[in-house]
Amino acid sequence: MKGFIHIVEIIIIALVVFVVIVQFSLVPRVPSEADRVKLRLLAADTLHALDARGLQWQNASAVAQGIEQALGGSAVAYRVELRNAVKSAIRVGCVCSSDELALLQDILEPIQVNHLDISFLIQHLPPPDLANPPAIPVTNDVTVFFSTPLADENTFPPYSYRDPLETALRAGTGVIVARDLDLDAVSSEELSLFQRYFNLTRPDPLAVAGGDPLQFTDPAPFTLGNPRLFALQVPVYYDDFAGQEGFAEAAGSWSLGSGTYTAAGEPAFAALPGSPPANYSVRLNLSFLPEGDHAGWSPAYQGEGDWVLAGVDMEGFLVIRNDSTVFAFRNLAGPLVVGTVYPVEVNVTGRDIAVTAWEGGSPTSLAFRWPVPLAGQYGLLANATTAGQHASFSDFALTLGGTVDLPRFLDPAERVAIPDGARNDSILLREESTGLPALVANDGIPAADFLPGRSVWLTGGWYDPATGDQEAEGRALLKAAVLWAAGDAFALIPNTVPNPETVSLITAADGDFFQPLEVLLRLDYVFGRR
């Protein structure tokens, strides 16, 4: 009997212990602040260590590799976001005709800005009709209008983009209108849309465009996302020379190949289309193969025996020369090494030519004023003493200068102004004599309830739809507007991190221009708080 009682006592004690253990296990665990502090310290250490190593923060694969190495295989999830950064893949909607779509596709070729490769995915949005009501998909980063009106009361059915514009800008996407504009001639509904969403209005009746040159306005105090950074620095042309074969010699078009010129003792020349602007800069990488002589950028090319070269000589000179005479030269460290890549930059302002080459990170510069105006075509040029492959080019970029007058885009029929009391720094480009705007960019819409999207109006005077003639400056401005209006905040590595600790780093991307950059690193434990 006593043994049975002992067994019952043991069972009772076991049940009591079990109940106590269960009760304690159900008590919510108080999160340890020390764990969260550890995450913040880990995020800060990771950001500063990678930045000190010179990590290219806009290169997603390099960033992911660097962070995973820093985390050392620990059970920590991460997400990386960038602020004041150009998106690497931009989705563009085009409300346009088939000809306008082809124009935009030609302009939005992939480019590289500050070592970031940028591509564009373009969606054709047909102008409104019975089958296509007005729509601006918010899945696109930016939507471009050319000749299609924002509202038309004379079509069947009549339409207005008021609701799609409101939705798109409220969602933070960008909208661009690139066309000649006379606000005295548009309908009351379209005028209302330009006033609300583009900060535009009718000008004074006496303000008439005089056909004078256009100028960039004075830079405003620096702010993150300042559109002037892109308007002045985005390349007009960029080519990495990948996946192509053959070259055009003085073809009058940008027809480049694999990056290597072949010549038989005569200059090989690949031209850019159109006439050279008065002020521009060129960057390229140059290397020599056996049988090389001299190569670089030609700011003026009239044909065989009549050309200008700013570049390098295989013997180890930085040169500015023509076919028969070396007008200026400067010694480099020594003869160039076959196969070694030498970055070269050429700046042209009127008749002034300046060229810089880098050897192992050290620059050598040379300048010369050409005795006569530079005329003819411009493009890449190389010469060889004998037949054979002799010069290789890569990563070419041409950028317009921002200190020189631009062509006369504004037609006297264009009539646009910004309202009295509006922010004058929204005007990026204006006519010198009248002050009438040619490019207006709005970072957010100051409506009754603020709309975070970006809107841009660019005059269409740089493009003649009847002839197809274009000004390179207009192409560059439209491309820059797309980059800017697409927004400057995005997830570089969009992993899901439910309850993160976030640390930010202010750094800078450079190469083409100085670009402050904010990097946000979000961390959390994979299996919850420890």
pLDDT in tens, 327-351: 998 988 777 888 888 999 999 988 9
Q: 209 pLDDT band (50/70/90 cuts)? A: confident
More confident call, 514 vs 488: 488
Task: Using DSSP bridges, classify how beta strands 260-264 and 427-431 pair: parallel, antiparallel or unpaired.
Answer: unpaired
Position 471: which residue type?
E
- Report percent pLDDT > 90 for the chain: 32
Low-confidence winner among 49-63, 104-118, 409-423, 438-452 (lowest mean pLDDT): 409-423
3-state secondary structure 462-484: CECCCCCCECHHHHHHHHHHHHH
Question: Within 10 A of 496 (CB to CB), how many other CB atoms are there?
Answer: 9
Q: What is the per-residue burial (b if ≥16 Cβ within 10 Å, else e) of 62-79?
A: ebeebbeebbeeeebbbb
Residue 50 vs residues 60, 64, 65, 67: alpha-carbon distances, Å: 13, 11, 10, 8
More confident call, 423 vs 432: 432
- Mean pLDDT confidence for 169-187: 92
Q: What pLDDT is attached to residue 245?
A: 42
pLDDT greater than 90 at residue 202: no
Q: What is the per-residue burial (b if ≥16 Cβ within 10 Å, else e) of 241-269?
A: beeeeebbbbeeebebbebbbbbeeebbb
State CA 187 to chain mean position distance. Answer: 34
Question: Within 10 A of 407 (CB to CB), how many other CB atoms are there?
Answer: 15
Most confident of 12-16, 201-205, 263-267: 201-205
- Asked if the bond preceding 446 is cis, omega within 30° of 0, the reply is no
Q: Rounded to 10 degrees, what is the CA torsion of 449, 452, 457, 458? A: 170
- Mean pLDDT confidence for 231-251: 60
pLDDT greater than 80 at residue 217: no
Question: Within 10 A of 367 (CB to CB), how many other CB atoms are there?
Answer: 14
Q: What pLDDT is attached to residue 252?
A: 38
pLDDT in tens, 347-364: 998 899 999 998 877 889
According to DSSP, the residues that pair with 347 across neighbouring strands are 281, 354
Residue 3 vs residues 12, 15, 63, 330: alpha-carbon distances, Å: 14, 19, 70, 108
- Mean pLDDT confidence for 59-81: 89
- Using alpha carbons, select from 274, 251, 215 the residue that is nearest to residue 475: 274
The first and second tokens of residue 307, run together, are: 């050309």
Task: Using DSSP bridges, classify how beta strands 352-359 and 89-95 pair: parallel, antiparallel or unpaired.
Answer: unpaired
Instruction: Say how far apart CA 380 and CA 395 lie, in whole Å.
Output: 12
pLDDT greater than 90 at residue 16: no
Instruction: Say how far apart CA 509 and CA 86 lie, in whole Å.
Output: 11
pLDDT greater than 50 at residue 250: no
Most confident of 105-119, 137-151, 220-234: 137-151
pLDDT in tens, 470-496: 877 788 889 989 999 998 888 999 999
Measured at the CA of 83, the angle between CA 80 and CA 86, to 5 degrees, comes to 100
- Mean pLDDT confidence for 420-449: 78
Q: What pLDDT is attached to residue 323?
A: 86
3-state secondary structure 167-187: HHHHCCCEEEEECCCECCCCC
The shares of helix, strand and coil residues in the chain, as percent rounded to the nearest 5, are: 20, 35, 40
According to DSSP, the residues that pair with 90 across neighbouring strands are 120
Q: 314 pLDDT band (50/70/90 cuts)? A: confident
3-state secondary structure 363-399: EEEEEEECCCCCCCEEEEEEEECCEEEEEEEEEEEEE
The first and second tokens of residue 32, run together, are: 């340890």
- Mean pLDDT confidence for 431-450: 81
3-state secondary structure 417-441: ECCCCCCHHHEEEEECCCCCEEEEE
